[in-house]
Amino acid sequence: MQMKNILEKFDLIGNQSGVSTGDWLTCRGEMLNSISPIDNQLIGNIRTANREDYEDVIQKAETAFTEWQMVPAPKRGEIVRQMGLALREYKAELGALVTLEMGKIKAEGEGEVQEMIDICDFAVGQSRMLYGLTMHSERPGHRMYEQWHPLGPVGVITAFNFPVAVWAWNAMIALIAGNTVIWKPSSKTPLTAIATMKIMESVLKKNKVPAGVLNLVIGNREQVGESMINDRRLPLISATGSVPMGRHIGQTVAARLGKTILELGGNNGIVVTPEADLDLVTRAILFGAIGTAGQRCTTTRRIIVEDKRFDELSERLIAAYKQVPIGNPLDDNILMGPLVDREAVQTMQKALERFKTEGGFPLYGGEVLTGGIYESGTYVTPCICAAKPGIPIVSEETFAPILYLIAYKGLDQAIEIHNQVPQGLSSAIFTQNLTEAESFLSHQGSDCGIANVNIGTSGAEIGGAFGGEKETGGGRES
Ligand code: NAD
């Protein structure tokens, strides 16, 4: 599918409004350009929202809430079911647009839309399962029961790397529960948000859902982001993004005693034990470390490998990394596309420089590619580094394909190294030894929200609570 066809499919040629309440509004904020990381070319112009536009939307969302909360939950579920059908219809095109605007390979773009479809199915089921407990009261002639009430309009703030799936995880559950939703997407991925909203609108209109139930507000942090997080009319803010963003949003929303769901950065490790199957390990690391060009929250960033297996594993990984086709993510045979922009490439370069000054040793890759499509300055070779425990930059999430290999002696030390970082999203152990696996999964083992055995750190499955501990924020979604 070519760029022009993708944009035409969603009528994205020409200036776009960045604000919808189910109807597109004329908005008054600055213009935003969407640039494709594939070739650094302009693919869209969006007029964003200012504070007044946000105010119009929140008022609509509040009014719509009074009506939407009274619609029976299974009927709300029926509308979400239709949203899932509409997404199935547009899966290839929306997936390709994710690729075009964000740079992940086509299979991953479509996989993201599949997650949207899956959460719709899950939410439809939930719409008939909003159960609460009933209890015998100690007071004669009384019974007690608990029930779930909607909160009101809820704010959903999303990151660039999962530009549509994470919104759906939040929005579909919020909708069946009777809430209205205001979505602020990343300014790096406005077109995917507009296209998603256009798909949703057809369903909203067909079912005569009032304007203000599902809302999109594209705008900058000052005008829209800060307005949302400081707004008492949004009792819940669900925010996905970096740790510094989450720290700020968490504090701001807590200051007004609002609720948050925070899904923040990860620094995900795999422990490779003496009995690990190295074929399995190599495949899992490759998928986890170079998938989405190292820009997943669950990207594998650290390998904690038993001392005696360090050399063999690093040789296998270097051989595998050399085979990875890097290029246009819209092409079927490509496994790694660009980073999201040149700034991300610079961040990666700076991190590698700092790593060397802190005593680390790069083993392979890390170059910025040039020539042909690479002239965009957004393509890099994925990097493998030999690190020692305690190197400061290894404790940080650099959102790029840098993989640190650290040797350990004894499982206790492996777990100590594993848990040394402040983030706590996803983790894995590769072993054939049941005791080692159980130790890793126990409360003495991995301190992450997600712990795996013999499978890598990436991936979320609808229905399994997804989220992390420590600085990852403690949220649970999907
Ligand atoms: P980011 O923190 O730069 O931005 C995330 C979102 O927060 C954007 O929409 C941004 O505009 C908004 N934002 C930033 N400051 C704000 C403020 N003051 N008020 C309101 N909104 C504000 O993150 P990014 O670069 O887009 O995404 C990458 C990061 O997201 C990585 O750290 C990654 O690990 C994390 N992430 C986490 C998960 C998860 O589920 N744990 C999923 C995806 C991404």
**457 within ligand 1 shell (Cβ under 6 A):** no
Determine the average pLDDT of the residues in 60-73. Answer: 98
Give a three-class secondary structure readout of 72-134. Answer: CHHHHHHHHHHHHHHHHHCHHHHHHHHHHHHCCCHHHHHHHHHHHHHHHHHHHHHCCCCCCCE
C-beta 161 within 6 A of ligand 1 = yes
In whole angstroms, give the CA distance from residue 8 to residue 6: 6
* Distance (Å) from CA 397 to ligand 1 centroid: 13
How many Å apart are CA 389 and CA 299, to the nearest integer?
19
Does the beta carbon of 266 lie inside 6 Å of ligand 1?
yes
**Has residue 83 got a pLDDT over 80?**
yes
**Ligand 1 midpoint to CA 158 (Å):** 6
CA-nearest residue for atom 23, ligand 1, is 241
Over residues 424-452, the mean pLDDT reads: 98
Residue 59: per-residue pLDDT: 98
Task: Report pLDDT for 53.
Answer: 98
Beta carbon of 186 within 6 Å of any ligand 1 atom: yes
3-state secondary structure of 462: coil
Q: Which of 216, 262, 273, 220 has the alpha carbon at shortest distance from 240?
A: 262
**At 360, is the pLDDT very low, low, confident or very high (cuts 50, 70, 90)?**
very high
- Cα 473 to ligand 1 centroid, rounded to whole Å: 12
What would the pLDDT profile of 278-323 be if each residue is shown by its tens digit?
A: 999 999 999 999 999 999 999 999 999 999 999 999 999 999 999 9
Q: Is 229 in the pocket of ligand 1 (CB under 6 A)?
A: yes
- The DSSP element (H or E) to which 194 belongs, if any, is helix 190-206
Give the CA radius of gyration of the chain. Answer: 23
User: Which of 219, 225, 238 is CA-nearest to residue 151?
Assistant: 238
Closest CA to 38 of 469, 374, 470, 382: 374
pLDDT band at 468 (very low <50, low <70, confident <90, very high): very high
Atom of ligand 1 nearest to the CA of 243: 32
297 is a catalytic site residue: yes
Query: What is the average pLDDT across 89-100?
Result: 98
Look at residue 2 and tell me whether its pLDDT is greater than 80. no
For residue range 164-217, list pLDDT tens digits in order: 999 999 999 999 999 999 999 999 999 999 999 999 999 999 999 999 999 999
Q: Where are the alpha helices (DSSP H) in 262-338?
A: 278-290, 310-322
115 carries an active-site annotation: no
Could you tell me whether strands 469-470 and 423-424 are parallel, antiparallel, or unpaired per DSSP bridges? antiparallel
Question: Six-digit token pair at 162?
Answer: 């999962």
Any atom of ligand 1 within 6 Å of the Cβ of 160: yes
Four-CA torsion 446, 448, 454, 458, nearest 10 degrees: -160
The single residue of 297, 383, 385, 448 carrying the catalytic annotation is 297
Ligand 1 lined by 249 (C-beta under 6 Å): yes
Q: Whose CA is nearest to atom 6 of ligand 1?
A: 159
Task: State the catalytic residue, choosing from 110, 112, 201, 263.
Answer: 263
Average pLDDT over residues 384-401: 97
Query: Token pair for residue 422?
Result: 């402040």
Q: Is 20 helix (H, G, I), strand (E, B) or coil?
A: strand
For ligand 1, the distance from its centroid to the CA atom of residue 244, given in whole angstroms, is 9
* Atom 1 of ligand 1, residue of closest alpha carbon: 241
Residues 6+ apart with CB under 8 A from 199: 83, 86, 87, 90, 94
